[in-house]
Each structure stands twice: as C-alpha cells, then as structure tokens.
Amino acid sequence: MATILIIDDESGIRYIAKTILSQNPGADPLTILEASSGSQGLELLTQYHPELVLLDYRLPDMDGSEWLHQAQELRPTAVILVSASSELEHIAHKHSLVVGTLAKPFKLDKLRITVLDALSRGLPGGVSP
C-alpha cells in the first residue's frame, strides 16, 4: 500500500485529489495524507515517509523550490508539481525529485494517470522508499 501526501493550501484541491485517488478499483488502496502548508508537509514527510508527494508550487509559507530543497535534505521522495504557472515544466526540470507535473486546472483522469505512473516508476535517482 502506497502513501501519498497532498500539499496544497486550497482545501478544495486536496478534497478532489483525495476523492479521485481513493477511487482506485482493482488496485491496492492508497493511504492519503493532507497538508495545507509547506511546513506541515515537511513534518508529514518525515513522520510518514510517503512514496509520492503532490506539491502545489505556490504555498503561503514557502515556494516549491524551497520545499523541494528541504525535502531533499530530510527524505528524498518522488514529487509531482502542481501549479497554474506557465513555467511549470521549466521549474520541474530544475529539481531531481520531480517525476511529473500537473497544470491547474487539471482533468481528473490526468491526475489519476499521472499519480499511478509516478508510483509505478518509483523514486528518482534509484532511491528506494
């Protein structure tokens, strides 16, 4: 059973992502954690060791680059960047933890496919969960 951490300051985005990812018929159930800030996300990262993080790039307490840097120091894990920024792909290529991107607003099927693909590939750089 994989654990996914959703970090987004918008409760509606967290709710939609959790609902969609919880509906995974025929597959192992996912444990889904939620954080509304980058600092809360870092705490959950060290406490629960999720296999995958859905990270909103623009958080009120830190941006995605800062979060990725701190996560790399604490516990490397696969990250899918989520943002409405037109520079999302450019930003993603700068960070070794990033295994995928989702542009807001995203389609629900795209969310599911991106997450399942990332989970099937594992962590970047061959790091084991």
What's the pLDDT at 26?
Answer: 62
Coil/strand/helix, residue 114 = helix
**Residue span of the structural domain in which 78 resides:** 3-126
Mean pLDDT of 53-81: 93
Distance separating alpha carbons of residues 67 and 65, to the nearest angstrom: 5
Distance separating alpha carbons of residues 108 and 116, to the nearest angstrom: 13
Confidence check: pLDDT of 128 > 60: no
CATH number at residue 31: 3.40.50.2300
Number of structural domains, the chain? 1
Confidence check: pLDDT of 105 > 80: yes
Confidence band, pLDDT 50/70/90 cuts, at residue 120? confident
Q: Which residues pair with 83 in a beta bridge?
A: 103
What's the pLDDT at 28?
Answer: 75
Q: Outline where 23-124 has alpha helix (H).
A: 38-48, 64-74, 88-92, 108-121
Q: Per the omega criterion (within 30 degrees of 0), is the bond before 124 cis?
A: no
Q: How many Cα neighbours within 13 Å face the side chain of 2? A: 23
How do residues 9-55 score in pLDDT, each as one tens digit?
A: 999 999 999 999 988 766 678 899 999 999 999 999 999 999 999 99
Mean pLDDT over the full length of the chain: 88
Confidence band, pLDDT 50/70/90 cuts, at residue 87? confident
What's the pLDDT at 127?
Answer: 41
- The model's pTM is 0.89
What's the pLDDT at 123?
Answer: 56
- Residue 105, C-beta contacts closer than 8 angstroms, at least 6 positions apart: 84
Amino acid at 76: P
